[in-house]
Structure 1
Amino acid sequence: MREEPLRLLAGAAAGALAEAADTELWPRLRVRMATVLAPQSSEVVSDRMDEARRRLVAVPRVRMGVARAEFTTEWRGSIHTMLWQRPEAAGPLRAVLHEVSPGLPRAAADVAGGDLASR
Structure 2
Amino acid sequence: MDPEITALAASAGTALVTALATEAWQSASAGLVTLWRRVLPERADAVEAELDATRDDLLDAHGEGDHETRAELAAEWQGRIRRLLSAHPEAAGELRALLIDPQPQPPAAPAVTQHATASGESRVYQAGRDMHLGPR
* Fold in common (TM above 0.5): yes
Alignment of 1:21-40 (within 5 A): 21-39=20-38, 40=41
Q: What displacement does 1:67 show?
A: 1.3
Q: What displacement does 1:50 show?
A: 1.0
- Does 20-29 or 37-46 show the bigger shift? 37-46
Letter in 2 for 1:36: L
- Does 52-61 or 35-44 show the bigger shift? 35-44
- Work out which structure has the larger RCO, using CA pairs closer than 8 Å and 6 or more positions apart in sequence: 1
Q: 5+ unaligned residues in a row in structure 1: which ranges?
A: 102-119
Cα gap change, 1:10 to 1:38, in 2 (>3 Å): farther
Match of 1:16 in 2: 15
The runs of at least 4 aligned residues of structure 1 exceeding 2 Å deviation read none
CA RMSD between the two structures: 1.7
Q: What displacement does 1:22 show?
A: 1.8
TM superposition score normalised by structure 1: 0.75
Q: 5+ unaligned residues in a row in structure 2: which ranges?
A: 104-136
Secondary structure at 1:100's aligned position in 2? coil
Please state if 1:62 is matched with 2:97: no
Structure number with higher helix proportion: 1
**Could you say which structure has the larger radius of gyration?**
2
Contact 2:31-2:102 at 8 Å conserved across structures: no
Q: Distance in 1 between matches of 2:37 and 2:87?
A: 9
Q: What displacement does 1:51 show?
A: 0.9
Contact 2:20-2:28 at 8 Å conserved across structures: no
Q: Distance in 2 between matches of 1:42 and 1:77?
A: 16
> Paired residues, what number?
99
Contact 1:29-1:100 at 8 Å conserved across structures: yes
Identity rate of aligned residues, in percent? Answer: 31
Cα gap change, 1:69 to 1:27, in 2 (>3 Å): same
Match of 1:116 in 2: none
Contact 1:37-1:86 at 8 Å conserved across structures: no
